[in-house]
Amino acid sequence: MSGVPVATKFVRDELCWLVYLMIGNYCYLAAGMGPAMNLLSSELHLSYSIAALHFSAWSLGVLSAGTFGERIMKKFGKPSAAWMAGTALCGGILVFLSGVHPVVTILGCLICGFNGSVMCQSLCTIMADRFAEARVIAISESNFVASIFCSLAPFLIGTCFRSGLNWRIAIVLPIVLFLVFFMVGRPIIAGAYETSPKGVQADGKLPPFYWLCWLLAMFSVASEWSIIFWGADFLEKVTKLSKADATTSLTAFLVAMVVARFIGSRLVRAYPTKLLLRCTSILALCGFLVFWLGHSVYANMTGLVLAGLGIANFYPLTLSAAIGSAPEQAGKATSRMSIATGGATLCAPLLLGIFAEHSNIFSAYGLVVGLLSICCVIAFLSKWQSRSYTTDV
Q: Measure Cα distances from 186 to 161, 321, 334, 352 in Å.
A: 34, 28, 22, 43
Length of the chain: 393
Report the pLDDT value the prediction gives residue 103, as an integer from 0 to 100. 94
Q: Which CATH number fits domain 7-199+206-392: 3.40.50.720, 3.60.15.10, 3.40.630.30, 1.20.1250.20?
A: 1.20.1250.20
**In whole angstroms, what is the distance from residue 389 CA to residue 264 CA?**
14
Average pLDDT along the chain, 393 residues, taken 10 residues at a time: 43 87 92 80 80 84 86 88 95 94 94 94 84 77 85 82 87 95 87 54 74 92 85 82 73 86 85 88 96 91 94 88 79 82 81 81 91 92 54 42
Residues 6+ apart with CB under 8 A from 392: 9, 10, 11, 12
Domain ranges of the chain: 7-199+206-392
Beta strands in the chain (DSSP E): 7-11, 388-392
Q: CA 184, 19, 129 angle in degrees (round to 5)?
A: 115
How would DSSP label each residue in 64-132? HHHHHHHHHHHHH-HHHHHHHHHHHHHHHHHHHHH-SSHHHHHHHHHHHHHHHHHHHHHHHHHHHHHHG
Report the pLDDT value the prediction gives residue 9, as an integer from 0 to 100. 64
Report the pLDDT value the prediction gives residue 50, as an integer from 0 to 100. 82
The packing angle between helices 273-293 and 297-311, to 10°, is 160
Whether the CB-CB separation of 335 and 216 falls below 8 Å is answered with no
Q: For the chain, first and last CA: distance in Å?
A: 29
